Chain A
């Protein structure tokens, strides 16, 4: 047992170490010399002015092809692979960075009349192109220039395809701060439309699904840093957790959740009462007495005894029974025994 624990901790800590560097091909390039030579942006990035097809990303057509480079770089040494590729024996393409954005370069180029620096030059020295390297616009940059109203109105879907694929981020306006997964309920209930801008309805059903075929962690093997509430071994310790943090369970689960799952696994069926209960269950002086446990976690009792409580509980807990009145103070004020059929299990019909 101890060895298993130590081994697992060691493995997990090993995972936290940085992996050794792998030599990957890069395209060797600097914007400065090209701009000093009089090139304009759109001479190389010629694909930015034409509408890409369906399924295109924000970068589609943005990066020059090898053929377009070779229109200027005509000398033999410039056509050698090593002129641009850092690993000419294993040349790769541009690194893929799918930012999952809804974005049209052509419309922005038209609106800015070819002024690429408006978006990409925010961190450049405007006095010279000597050190110019275009920057990728940040959300703050977009919002401070043209999309302030979109951000204020939280029209996330105008730019973002789907934020559900990312770890929860703390944004300036929609704050998915640490712990948000456990407290998102009230906001989702009051402002469902806001969530729907970025998250498809099936995103909710990944967790809010009473009949899941397998735990979410089995479908998201790499989501180790995400705020899944039911991680890994949760099933093994959920009984303890349910007693210790009742409000956490009931934020998402109705009373039926315990019942459904226990039935699925055959828990609570086929044996007599007391089988799953610890010693002292029927001893009124024991700290494990069933009355105390029931008050702590009545939903746990309901998971097995909701349908047979009349046989298990009420023989003692009834008018004139050995265990007396089970109701909390003031209980009768909220019930009318004439109209609540469940009252008739113990109480004779009448006023």
Chain B
């Protein structure tokens, strides 16, 4: 972290002095610091036979008062446009925990730098790699990239980031035994028209190649009114499809978009091979979906989506279950986005347990500065509002600029959930932003 900060600040100084000479690539530095204090109970599993209900018997709230800080830095165009550096880190101190070994936590989300020279670039550090297995990879490593026209190739090797939890305040960086990952990607992209990417990633742990993912991702716009997106993840270790999706969007009218898609997931193939659970029979999930989006202006958007789902266990005697999902969302905002309102409703049923979720939220700005946001959500299953699985949530937030780059906000939320019968929580948030550089 210190090295990344030093690099970025040195780069900034260098770029600013270079900028005075003119005709050099622009340098740009953006920083944001956040600090928030939350009063949120933390729940742990416990076992008390004296309590009446299952929830009370097995769940116990412990006081938690974490002070969480986050720093984000993006610096680009450094050293005559050859270097960029990125950092996102957080730290937390739990003011309610007295155990000195368990009161603080922190981690780097990303901390990496990349150097470019001609078509080549090399990166080093912790970053999120979007390609590879479904969901991408969060990795400490080194990678090399090369570009030639529309073609690009990259390779990386490193160690997957696997947070460990030993303290009350949150995650700590940790690694479970010897673990390593490596992979490569080949891509071709013509921006706005088509792009294809093929990647292969292996992930090793405990002496076993737990993940061997061969992925194909593509997007295309063969016509001005048509967009296609698809993704296929093959489990090369067990030879099968672990995840697939295909989506089509047809821009039928200027304000109307029709979408159709298909999704497939085989959860057992997403479990690494070192887990014994990866050998168990599981439901294979398939979904066909259809959506309609209407956006008559920048201020109004309406989207409805329906999907049919199939849950099947290959080879099982019992018949496949059918489920469905119906969702709708309306968003209205003023042209300057000082006032916004969104309403959404969702009904899902996997053939066993249906659930309905309703959400309403609004934001408005008073006097050009003070901003107030209110939101509420209700999730209820078919057993009725008194069901233990019913949850309700409401939150009110206010944020005000303090002058310069500072903003101060506060939030109060009330919740009723399967874990907490009724609860009131608070939050105070301060943020500071800094931007410098870019072309004048």
Interface residues of B, count at CB 8 A? 187
Task: Flag A182-208 by CB within 8 Å of B: 1 or 0 each.
Answer: 010111111111100000111011101
Task: State in angstroms the CA–CA spacing of A55 and B376 once bound together.
Answer: 39
Binary interface profile of A, 242-280, with partner B (CB < 8 Å = 1, else 0)? 011111001111111000100111111111000110100
Q: Is B353 an interface residue (CB 8 A)?
A: yes
Q: Kindly state whether residue B87 has any CB partner on chain A within 8 Å.
A: yes
Contact A233 B259 (CB under 8 A): no
CA distance A340 to B207 in the complex (A): 9
A294 CB within 8 Å of chain B? yes
- Answer yes or no: B378 CB below 8 A from chain A CBs: yes
Q: How far is the CB of B134 from chain A (nearest CB, A)?
A: 6
Check B355 for interface membership: any CB of A closer than 8 A. Answer: yes
Q: Does B295 contact A (CB under 8 A)?
A: yes
Mask of B117-155 contacts with A, CB within 8 angstroms, 1/0: 000000000011011011110100000000000001000
Measured between beta carbons, the chain A residues less than 8 angstroms from B46 are 270-271
Question: Is A221 positioned at the interface, with any CB of B under 8 Å from its CB?
Answer: yes
**Chain A hits for B280, CB < 8 A:** 294-295, 298, 313, 317, 326-328
Are A342 and B275 also in contact (CB < 8 A) when A54-B437, A174-B192 are? yes
Q: Is A264 in contact with B170, judged by CB distance below 8 angstroms?
A: yes
Q: Is A236 touching B68 in the complex (CB atoms < 8 A)?
A: no
Stretch among A2-10, A27-35, A39-47 lining the B interface: A2-10
Chain A min CB distance to B298 (Å): 7
Q: Is A67 an interface residue (CB 8 A)?
A: no
In the complex, the answer to whether A298 meets B135 with C-beta atoms within 8 Å is no
| Interchain CB contact under 8 A, A11 and B130 | no
The reply to whether A309 and B268 contact each other, CB–CB distance below 8 Å, is: no
Q: Are A55 and B435 in contact (CB under 8 A)?
A: yes
Select which of B271, B274, B303 is within 8 A of A298 by beta carbon.
B271
Query: When the two chains form their complex, are residues A328 and B237 in contact, meaning their CB atoms are under 8 A apart?
Result: no
Which of A13-21, A78-86, A124-132 makes up part of the contact surface? Answer: A13-21
Q: Are B431 and A219 in contact (CB under 8 A)?
A: yes
Q: Are A246 and B265 in contact (CB under 8 A)?
A: yes
Contacts known (A213-B107, A244-B348, A287-B352); A236 close to B391, Cβ less than 8 A: yes
Whether B331 sits at the interface, judged by CB under 8 Å, is yes
Identify the closest chain A residue to B397 (Cβ): A221
Chain A residue nearest to B439 in the complex (CB): A102
Please give the distance in Å from A299's CB to the nearest CB on chain B. 5
A329 near B315: Cβ-Cβ < 8 Å:
yes
**Quick check: A214 and B38 within 8 Å, CB to CB?**
yes
Q: Would B45 and A310 count as touching, CB distance under 8 A?
A: no
Residue of B nearest to A219 (CB): B34
Check if B364 sits within 8 Å of A236, measured CB to CB: no
A131–chain B nearest beta-carbon distance, Å:
22
Q: Please indicate the chain B residues that have their CB under 8 angstroms from the CB of A12 in the complex.
A: 360-362, 374-376, 394
- CB-CB < 8 A to A192: which residues of B? 130-131
Q: Judging by beta carbons under 8 Å apart, are B372 and A15 in contact? A: yes
8 Å CB interface, A219-249 against B = 219, 221-222, 224-225, 231-233, 235-237, 239-241, 243-247
User: Cβ of A342 and Cβ of B279 under 8 Å apart?
Assistant: yes
Complexed CA–CA distance, A167 and B339 (Å): 13
Chain A residues in 8 Å Cβ range of B285: 246-247
**A162 lies within 8 A of chain B by Cβ:** yes
Instruction: Known A194-B189, A275-B45; judge A236-B58 contact (CB<8 A).
Output: no
Q: Count of A-B contacts with CB under 8 A? A: 477
**Bound state CA distance, A15 and B207, in angstroms?**
56
> What are the residues of chain B within 8 A of A224 when measuring CB–CB?
340, 342, 361-363, 373-375, 397
Q: Does A306 contact B (CB under 8 A)?
A: yes
Report the minimum CB–CB distance from A135 to chain B (whole Å): 14
User: With A12-B361, A221-B399 as given contacts, are A202 and B86 in contact (CB-CB < 8 Å)?
Assistant: yes
Closest A residue to B279 by beta carbon equals A327
Bound-state CA distance A248–B171 (Å) is 24
Q: Quick check: is A76 within 8 A (CB to CB) of the other chain?
A: no
The interface residues of chain B lying within 8 Å CB-to-CB of A121 are none
**Which residues of A lie under 8 Å from residue B427 when comparing CB positions?**
218
Given contacts A104-B439, A264-B171, A327-B281, whether A175 and B227 have CB atoms under 8 Å apart is yes
Q: Which residues of B contact A292 (CB under 8 A)?
A: 352
Distance (Å) between the CB of A134 and the closest chain B CB? 18
Chain B, residue nearest A194 (CB): B191
Q: Are A22 and B366 in contact (CB under 8 A)?
A: yes
Question: In the complex, what residues of B have CB within 8 A of residue A187's CB?
Answer: 195, 217, 219, 229
B56 at the binding interface (Cβ < 8 Å) = no
Indicate which residue in A255, A265, A268 contacts B270 across the interface (CB closer than 8 Å).
Answer: A255
Whether B376 pairs with A296 at a CB distance below 8 angstroms is no
Instruction: List chain A residues, Cβ under 8 A from B415.
Output: 233, 236
Q: Are B365 and A177 in contact (CB under 8 A)?
A: no
In the complex, chain B residues whose CB is within 8 Å of the CB of A276:
45, 58
Contacts of B180-210 to chain A: CB distance below 8 A: 187, 189, 191-192, 195-197, 199, 206-208
Asked if A204 and B58 sit within 8 Å, CB to CB, the answer is no
Q: Which of A22, A209, A251, A252 contacts B109 (CB 8 A)?
A: A209
Contacts of B271 in A (CB 8 A): 255, 298-299, 302, 306
Report how far A5 CA is from B418 CA in the complex, Å.
15
* Pairwise interchain contact A213-B191, C-beta atoms closer than 8 A: no
Determine the chain B residues whose CB is within 8 A of the CB of A51 once the complex forms.
440
Q: Is the CB of B366 within 8 A of A299?
A: no
State whether B364 touches A326 (Cβ < 8 A).
no
Task: State in angstroms the CA–CA spacing of A242 and B287 once bound together.
Answer: 15
Q: Is A334 within 8 A of B267, CB to CB? A: no
Contact assessment for B396 and A11 in the assembled complex, using a CB-CB cutoff below 8 Å: yes
B259 & A19 in contact (Cβ 8 Å cutoff) = no
Q: Which residue among B87, B249, B279 has the maximum number of chain A CB atoms within 10 Å of its CB?
A: B279
Q: Is A351 an interface residue (CB 8 A)?
A: no
Q: Roughly how many angstroms separate A92 CA and B166 CA in the complex, as a whole number?
A: 54
CB distance from A111 to the nearest CB of B (A): 15
Give complex CA distance A306, B206 in Å.
Answer: 14
Chain A residues contacting B411 (CB-CB under 8 Å) are 218, 221
Distance, CA A224 to CA B372, complexed state (A): 10
A: which residues have CB within 8 A of B?
1-2, 4-5, 7-9, 11-19, 22, 24, 51-56, 95, 102, 104, 152-154, 161-162, 166-167, 169-170, 173-175, 177-179, 183, 185-194, 200-202, 204-206, 208-214, 218-219, 221-222, 224-225, 231-233, 235-237, 239-241, 243-247, 250-256, 260, 263-271, 275-276, 278, 287, 292, 294-299, 301-302, 305-306, 309-310, 313-314, 317, 326-331, 333-335, 340-343, 345
